[in-house]
Amino acid sequence: MSRMHGAAPLHFRKALENILDILIIGAGPIGLACGLEAKRANLNYLIIDRGTLVNSLYNYPLNMTFFSTSDRLEIGGIPFVSINPKPNRMEAMEYYRRVVESQDLQVKLFEEVRHMEPEGALYRVSTSKGEYVARHVIIAVGFYGIPNQLHIPGEDLPKVRHYYLDPHYYFRQKVVVVGANNSSADAALETWRKGAEVTMVVRQPELGRIKYWTKPDLENRIKEGSIKCYFSSSLTEIREREVDIDTPEGKITIGNDFVLAMTGYQPDFSFLQKIGIKLTEDEKRYPQYDPETMETNLPNVYLAGVICGGMDTHVWFIENSREHATQIVRHISREKVAGGA
């Protein structure tokens, strides 16, 4: 670890006057859960995020419905009451916003972490708006910020979207939806119902992991021909008014106005590597951490939530990673007691 030499800058000396027990990077559901546990343990904490509150949920499609029931999305034991069997995006955002307000969680938004380095037994974290010093750091960032690319000509055209929000936008447009899972199914069905001419391009020979109430609907629309679907196929080139598709029967070209590339997303591995967290060298890129304490190879730096799965983004969800908050804060609290802090 590095040590301070000479006089520290004024802003760093001011940060030293209010050393945080925990700095939490990420204001998604799991970052908020960590904040709740830290507050209950009487630890001095702060949650920061480069976007808005629960930024990933904000970027979900407007009409998105969760697979889980509301009780599985609760954090900190605070009830999540929904009028629907399964809550939707708007209800979830309302719930997490109310959690922050009712529990008076310390959250700073639209503040991006730019640098983090050890300073003796502490960590110095520089952001777009300030500088903090913390004894422990929890990284609870998601994977919704970096879309997986198609790596084909024309992907950089304005008509290509890796995020899907509202189906009305695509009324009477020729839309190609790339992908076989939940996001693709929702985009295909919703845009078709709002008047789009929809073609799906699926690399696999069949549809993938789709919500059980959505899959039969999509299968029926494909069977009746309302939505055209090319299986075992891939998009090979995108142009202003058309696209090329490689199918088992050969290459075809169809007219096109928009491409919705629902190809998934990945965590910001560059940030983890930049601060020194080790990743496996295979394609999964699993970060190194202790599953009992969630502590990484960096002392007093922890991971929480979906970031723990590396590229395997279907391992951790809100439902099964909210316990990370309890594990981490329990470990920090024990350390604090043992150290006599």
DSSP state of 299: T
Q: Is 135 exposed, middle or buried (0-12, 13-18, 19+ CB in 10 A)?
A: buried
Residues 272 and 234 in one domain: no
Residues 26 and 134 in one domain: yes
Last residue of one domain, picked from the residues 261, 293, 313: 261
pLDDT tens digits for 174-192? 999 999 888 899 999 999 9
- The helix, strand and coil proportions of the chain, stated in percent and rounded to the nearest 5, come to 30, 25, 45
- In this structure, how many other beta carbons lie within 10 angstroms of the beta carbon of residue 101? 10
Residues 141 and 269 in one domain: yes
Kindly state the percentage of the chain with pLDDT values over 90: 75
Residue pair 161/187 in contact by the 8 Å Cβ criterion = no
pLDDT tens digits for 203-242? 999 998 888 889 999 999 999 999 999 999 999 999 999 9
Residues 140 and 214 in one domain: no
Residues 92 and 134 in one domain: yes
Residues 199 and 232 in one domain: yes
The residue range of the domain holding 325 is 10-146+265-339
Residues 130 and 162 in one domain: no
Amino acid of residue 277: I
Residue pair 194/188 in contact by the 8 Å Cβ criterion = no
Q: What is the pTM of this model?
A: 0.85
Residues 242 and 163 in one domain: yes
Whether residue 1 is contained in a domain is answered as no
Total structural domains in the chain? 2
